[in-house]
């Protein structure tokens, strides 16, 4: 196998393979791509020629004519937070895992992009418009992200994680967050908790809102007309701070629902600090079922969000939008489940 350098000059081309096999370029191409019928013997001939030349098709050349790159952009839409923060969030890791897992079965590769500034957003757009990727997967951490709208305007295939704050003709994958809130409330009530509070995510996020209203509505149905809430921003620190505030205002609380596990972890710390035992004195429920839920002692009872599956579905949706550009925007909603552990 006389391999040439990657795609350096001198690397074998289709032409070389064709010559070695004694057929035309077109035939080699047909064998490689499996388009049309090619005689068995000739196919064998071509395969041997490919092996002996060490031929590898050139992606750029192929893209140029097919107008497909076989890559998509995986865009993380951070806001003000320092860069590390976004990627370090276990939530992002799960999304990446789900996306990569699905894409690899289709021979597609994700390009990691960060869209935290106007400039970065413009770059994402340019990246797609210049045909460097066939579409985009967006994971947004804040509400007023202009990127989804920009993609819709440019008619670029894209799929969001979570429903956009503004209605937009764009596909997305989401969790029935409202149901998640209900699950948490029902569980807390079934435990006989009387003075329940909640730590919410940023309230401009539909996600946070839905979890909160689902939770409050269910609590109301159970006779708890009002549930005090404190907002965090999905980080552990913010959860700890919110818990401190709630503890100060409602020292008698015996149940807490945090809108994600990281904040629950922070709340747990604050509760310990104040000498509250979990779950004996205070029952604590998180949201996500991330690795943080298992890292806590006691391990967190939590509302599971099947992030990996959702991410995979997101990728699947995007690929179908790429294949059929005229496909209508659709949404896929996943159901949350309660994962009972020790904390509640």
Partner DNA sequence: CCAGCCTCGGAGAGCGCTCTCCCACGTTGT
Partner DNA sequence: ACAACGTGGGAGAGCGCTCTCCGAGGCTGG
Q: Is 83 in the site for its own copies (CB under 8 A)?
A: yes
Q: Of these partners, DNA, its own copies, none, which one is at the site of residue 37 (CB under 5 to 8 Å by kind)?
A: DNA
Nearer to DNA, 45 or 292 (CB): 45
Q: Which residues bind DNA (CB under 7 A)?
A: 7, 9, 11, 13-15, 22-27, 29-30, 32-33, 35-39, 42, 55-58, 61-62, 64-66
Complex with its own copies: residue 210 or 288, whichever CB lies closer: 288
Looking at the chain, the number of H-run helices and the number of E-run strands are 14, 12
The CA angle 228-343-212, to the nearest 5 degrees, is 30
With CB cut-offs between 5 and 8 Å by kind, which of DNA, its own copies, none does residue 32 bind? Answer: DNA
Q: Residue 227: which region, alpha, beta or left (left: phi > 0; alpha: psi -120 to 50)?
A: beta
Stretch that binds its own copies, among 19-27, 90-98, 169-177, 243-251 (CB under 8 A): 90-98
Assign 200 to helix, strand or coil.
strand
Burial of 121 (0-12, 13-18, 19+ CB in 10 A): buried
94 counts as binding its own copies under rule CB under 8 A: yes
Which listed option, DNA, its own copies, none, makes contact with residue 208 (CB within 5 to 8 Å by class)? none
- Binding-site partner at residue 84 among its own copies, DNA, none, CB < 5 to 8 Å by type: its own copies
Tell me the window of 41-49, 198-206, 294-302, 333-341 that interacts with its own copies (CB under 8 A): 294-302
Residue 11 vs 332, nearer CB to DNA: 11
Helix axes 14-21, 40-53, angle to 10 degrees: 120
Out of 28, 49, 128, 241, the only residue in the binding site for its own copies (CB under 8 A) is: 128
**What residue ranges in the chain does DSSP mark as E strands?**
71-77, 109-114, 136-140, 158-161, 171-175, 196-200, 229-231, 255-258, 283-288, 301-304, 331-334, 337-339
Q: How far is the CB of 120 from DNA (least distance, A)?
A: 22
Give, for 263, the enclosing helix (H) or strand (E): helix 261-273
Q: Are the beta carbons of 134 and 70 closer than 8 angstroms?
A: yes
For the CB of residue 207, give the shortest distance to its own copies in the complex, in Å. Answer: 20
Task: State how far Cα 255 lies from the chain centre.
Answer: 30
Which partner, its own copies, DNA, none, binds residue 308 by CB below 5 to 8 Å per kind?
its own copies
Site mask for its own copies (CB under 8 A), range 136-155, x = bound: ------------------xx
Residue count (the chain): 344
Of 4-12, 17-25, 314-322, 326-334: span binding its own copies (CB under 8 A): 4-12
Q: Distance between CA 254 and CA 277 in Å, rounded?
A: 10
Identify the DSSP state of 58.
-
DSSP string, 287-342: EE--HHHHHSSSPPEEEE--HHHHHHHHHHHHHHHHH-TTPPP-EEEEPPEEE--S
Residue ranges in contact with its own copies by CB under 8 A: 3, 5-9, 56-61, 63-64, 67, 69-71, 74, 83-84, 86-90, 92-94, 96-97, 100-101, 104, 109-114, 120, 123, 126-132, 154-156, 236, 265, 269, 272-273, 290-291, 294-295, 297, 308
């Amino acid at each position: 196998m006389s391999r040439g350098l990657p795609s350096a000059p001198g690397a074998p081309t289709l032409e070389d393979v064709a010559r070695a096999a004694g057929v035309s370029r077109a035939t080699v191409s047909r064998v490689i791509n499996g388009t049309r019928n090619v005689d068995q013997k000739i196919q064998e001939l071509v395969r041997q020629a490919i092996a002996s030349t060490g031929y590898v098709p050139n992606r750029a050349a192929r893209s140029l004519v097919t107008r497909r790159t076989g890559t998509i952009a995986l865009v993380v839409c951070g806001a003000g937070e320092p860069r590390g923060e976004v990627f370090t969030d276990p939530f992002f890791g799960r999304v990446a895992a789900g996306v990569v897992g699905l894409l690899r079965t289709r021979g597609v590769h994700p390009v990691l992009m960060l869209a935290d500034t106007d400039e970065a957003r413009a770059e994402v757009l340019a990246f797609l418009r210049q045909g460097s990727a066939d579409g985009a997967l967006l994971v947004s951490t804040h509400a007023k992200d202009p990127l989804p709208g920009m993609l819709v305007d440019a008619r670029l295939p894209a799929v969001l994680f979570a429903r956009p704050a503004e209605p937009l003709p764009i596909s997305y994958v989401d969790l029935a967050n409202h149901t998640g809130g209900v699950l948490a409330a029902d569980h807390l009530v079934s435990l006989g908790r009387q003075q329940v509070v909640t730590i919410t995510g940023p309230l401009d996020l539909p996600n946070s809102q839905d979890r909160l209203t689902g939770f409050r509505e269910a609590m109301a149905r159970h006779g708890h007309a009002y549930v005090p809430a404190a907002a965090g921003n999905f980080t552990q620190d913010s959860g700890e701070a919110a818990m401190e505030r709630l503890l100060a205002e409602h020292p008698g609380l015996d149940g807490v629902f945090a809108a994600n596990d990281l904040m629950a972890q922070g709340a747990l710390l604050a509760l310990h600090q104040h000498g509250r035992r979990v779950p004996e004195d205070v029952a604590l429920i998180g949201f996500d079922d991330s690795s943080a839920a298992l890292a806590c002692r006691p391990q967190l009872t939590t509302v599971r969000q099947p992030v990996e599956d959702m991410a995979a579905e997101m990728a699947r949706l995007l690929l179908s939008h790429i294949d059929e550009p005229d496909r209508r925007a659709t949404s896929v909603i996943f159901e949350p489940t309660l994962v009972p552990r020790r904390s509640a």
